[in-house]
Amino acid sequence: MEGLSQEEFERYDRQLRIPYFGVDAQMKLKKSAVMVAGVGGLGSSAAIFLAAAGVGKLRIVDCGEVELSNLNRQILYSTEDIGRPKVFAALERLRAINPNVEIEAIKEEITEDNIEELLNGVNLVVDGQDNFETRFIINKACVRAFKPCIHGAVYAFEGRLMTIIPGKGPCLRCLIPQDPKEMASIPILGPLPGIVGAFEALEAIKLLTGVGDPLLGKLLIIDGETFSFYKIEIKKNPSCPVCGNVK
């Protein structure tokens, strides 16, 4: 792969000015591939920042169509997108943001059967899910494939973030040992998935470039109601059925 074009130098000018980021980090991003697993509230925000930052390839996976009740938070979509498959509307929007990024739109539900193939060729996964079941499928597959997954979740005024690096820290199953009750139509204030998705993009950029310290073994809780941030230590469970035997 060649270096950066003149257009790319200008497009990424502000981040290239960060002394410990620079062209090396930008080239690492350009050579990277990220899967955004779900392009809802979290995935919208994460995908926009990853595309804008110049990640080489984004694989966006979602089986849903845009609904009116998505639009308070899913900032990839407009009112005129209602009824369209999310991944196709997202592809157009992301391409418009940064045509240098290769976008692969996959309209599929993530299952035990296809997750291995979906992970093929990506460096890491950004969790943009809205339920626990699919998150656990992704977690298990990422641990098996030794690929990092950046976990994000929201509820009402609250956000959660944890970076999972198999073999280096706890996985989602260490954090949530039992299957919680699934909720339909979870209450969410729009800025929260926006914030958490942006943080997920930030973590992805850090992991891909090797700049900074990832949120490993720590759960970040963002309390938007009181504007409090908490970092809670999460230990790897030695008897975790998913990652217990991964060294």
CB of 153 to other proteins, least distance (A): 5
Among 25, 27, 42, 110, indicate the residue that binds other proteins (CB under 8 A). Answer: 42
Does residue 221 interact with other proteins by CB under 8 A? yes
CB of 60 to other proteins, least distance (A): 14
CB of 188 to other proteins, least distance (A): 5
How many residues in total does the chain contain? 247
Stretch of 52-60, 91-99, 102-110, 123-131 lying at the interface with other proteins (CB under 8 A):
123-131
Nearer to other proteins, 10 or 179 (CB): 179
CB of 232 to other proteins, least distance (A): 7
- Residues 130-149 contacting other proteins, CB under 8 A: 130-132, 135
Token pair of 31, please? 């050579």
Q: Which amino acid type is present at position 41?
A: G
Stretch of 86-94, 102-110, 206-214, 222-230 lying at the interface with other proteins (CB under 8 A):
222-230
Q: Please, are residues 42 and 222 in contact by the beta-carbon 8 Å criterion? A: no
3-state secondary structure the chain: CCCCCHHHHHHCHHHHCCCCCHHHHHHHHHCCEEEEECCCHHHHHHHHHHHHHCCCEEEEECCCECCHHHCCCCCCCCHHHCCCEHHHHHHHHHHHHCCCCEEEEECCCCCCCCHHHHHCCCCEEEECCCCHHHHHHHHHHHHHHCCCEEEEEEEECEEEEEEECCCCCCCHHHHCCCCCCCCCCCCECCHHHHHHHHHHHHHHHHHHHCCCCCCECEEEEEECCCCEEEEEECCCCCCCCCCCCCC
Does residue 79 interact with other proteins by CB under 8 A? no
d(CA 142, CA 152): 15
How many residues in the shown chain lie near other proteins by CB under 8 A?
A: 38
Does residue 238 interact with other proteins by CB under 8 A? no
Question: Mask of contacts with other proteins, 173-192, x by CB under 8 A?
Answer: --xxxx-xxxx--xxx----
Among 233, 238, 239, 247, indicate the residue that binds other proteins (CB under 8 A). Answer: 233
Does residue 8 interact with other proteins by CB under 8 A? no
Stretch of 52-60, 89-97, 137-145, 221-229 lying at the interface with other proteins (CB under 8 A):
221-229
What is the binding site for other proteins (CB under 8 A)? 38, 40-43, 127-132, 135, 152-156, 158, 160, 175-178, 180-183, 186-188, 193, 221, 223, 225-226, 230, 232-233
